[in-house]
Structure 1
Amino acid sequence: MAIELKMPALSPTMEEGTLAKWLVKKGDKIEPGDVIAEIETDKATMEFEAIDEGVIADIAIEAGSENVKVGTVIATLAEEGEDVSAAPAKKAEPKSEAKAEPAVAESAPAPTPAPESKPAPAASSSDGDRIAASPLARRIAANRGIDLSAIKGSGPNGRIVKADVEGAKAGSAAAAAPAPASASAITPAPVAAQDFGIPHTAEKLSNMRKTIARRLTESKQQVPHIYLTVDIRLDALLKLRAELNDSLASSGVKLSVNDLMIKALAKSLIAVPACNVQFAGDQLLSFTRADISVAVSIPAGLITPIVVDAGDKTVSKISTEMKDLAARAREGKLQPQEYQGGTASLSNMGMYGIKQFEAVINPPQGMIMAIGAGEKRPYVVDDSLQIATVMSATGSFDHRAIDGADGAQLMQVFKDLIEKPMGLLA
């Protein structure tokens, strides 16, 4: 008996993905654990492993197909010893629906019923969000990028059949479909492109860019931000970093300023637990360790790999982990648990010469620290005006969960740790 291979949910929040690449072809024999495809989620490209053995009898979704819903059949696996050559006939079976369905399913649409007649039911069934559609209609819709939820079926009980899908234009139904309830309140209506005759290029948004747009819009619309900024003298930290790098040179570890900032933020959150929290409706979640999400820019957008329990790790361990996480983030090889979660975030734009900025909170976290560039500035040191290396750091706090006074306390602890950095080694 043939086995259907379906688009897997590679993370708890995944609803659709891009079938980036097939690593097998029709007729190939596979065993459990074999990597058969690469699937692109909104954050990474992940490997899809087979859990059964057999022979690839059919590939239903071509490589490069986008917006493939979780649960969609992407290939068929024939069991050991099954006649693979017969498999295509099985694939063609849904086409017989023209005989199985009433004639109205494949003929011209029926006349509009009189006003007193009962209207045809909607495609969505009353027992949930499942859309009533024939297998062939689903496959045609998937291949053409048509959203079945926007189509009224002409089959029995409103079931969507082949004729309904073939009459819809690719992309048009999807555009007309209503947004999910969870996003409709926060997603603005699409804006029609107006180029005014200016030369330009148009690039389709990646899954990652769509997710960034949705989540940051949600954050700015639903999370009341409060911003607190402090100026921090860096000279002592830079001196300590140089000394540590000298001592770590033989082990191949080279600390960055960002590594020390991660450690400082984690220790600050442990010292001020009122800021290591998350707003959760009628609850406030308070965390006992500090997992720091670190913003990393990659070609497709932005991702935040997590340094777990950064407060208890040495700065050399943090440095090693960050180099590995950042490298795999740029290759799209992070696992979901490596970028989903975190108790707070850190975004450093100092390397770009940005003096100061206000970062958008990464929901559902309660705060994010924005780090500006260190620069020579006039600064009062020991009651005298001197030239010092100073940076500005801005904390963005979710005011539903974190009071201004608590945020101010965290910023003060963070400043003290940077200006007296031996505390980072304790």
Structure 2
Amino acid sequence: MLRFAIGVIRRFADLPPHTILGMPSLSPTMTTGTMVKWLKKEGDKVSPGDIMFEVETDKATLGYEVQDQVFVAKILAQAGSPPMPLGAPIAILVDKADRISAFKDYTSDSGAIKSSEPVKKPIQEEPKHDENVRMSPAAHHMIDEYHLDTKNIHASGPRGLILKEDVLAFIENSKSPKETQKKPEEIKTPEKKTSQDTGKNYISSIRAPRFSVTSNVNLEEAIKFVGKDNIRAFIIKAAVASCKIVPEANSKFFNEFTRYYDYVDLQVSLYEKTLKKYFLKDSQGKRIEEIKEAFQKEGTGQANFAVSFSSEGNEIATPDVSALLSVGPEFLKVVKSGEAFKSQKFATCTLNCDHRAVDGAVGANWLKTFKGFVENPTSLL
């Protein structure tokens, strides 16, 4: 049986077994989606990990990654069609190639399934805290669960962000906490993993639901600022700085909880004919010269974020992290500069995220922050 987030198996008398894929939910606040682009066409085979199509949500344009091998028998929602509610039929999928031809003349009216009604989300209670207060997902969950007042919690995160540690500190320092404000049992992550633990996390992460956000980033100002030979080190520095501004992306999903990090241990992969890997421990605060020194010796380690550079544009998987920045090869693009047009260097940058730990809004915010640092390099000073 095929497995999808939103999909229903239908077996009609004159049709072979198939799956009708509905518009998936790619962000917590998404109610409708607009089909932007199909990356697969009718008749194509789709392998696990392939991005089948891109959908514009209320937060960003996200790719839909397939978890099982399937074939696209029929596309029901064309690119550029009006916004569709969650669950609305967008494609018919089959698990065998010889079943594709049965859907050649299929239309949404010829099958038993009709366009789905919008998914009704449960009415949520009014938050017990100021909606303008910024907090990490873990802190948000604890504050709601224990009915805490954010006015009394000191925020130690960047730009006034309340972190999980701030909530725990507030509870611990309360002299007479209410019954609902008792300190929750904190789950600690072992500092060292056994090979069995690592294997379990690896298998879990490669099977996890993932999504990606992509942007073409202008490298022209960064190259002028640091020089062409230093551009990769600068991109790494910008990625690390983005993790400090958007710490929710600097995380790792474990079986029962998500751990957020205030440091960045970075795994860097470089593919130029052969694959090379480098490990940067405590990369936050490192100067460009120090980052370049790390490229003198290959190595791996327990990372909580990853960056890959590929001269051929193919993504290098590092599954044991919640977010991986993939930087493609440079290309020229004509842009308007003042009254003239100039060719400038760009790179396609894609943030691939584990949806269990990072939602679409966080991924889009991280990539926007990263792009801002690269295109305005003096902001990193």
TM-score (norm 2): 0.44
Q: Which has the higher strand share?
A: 2
Larger Rg: 1
* More helix, by proportion: 1
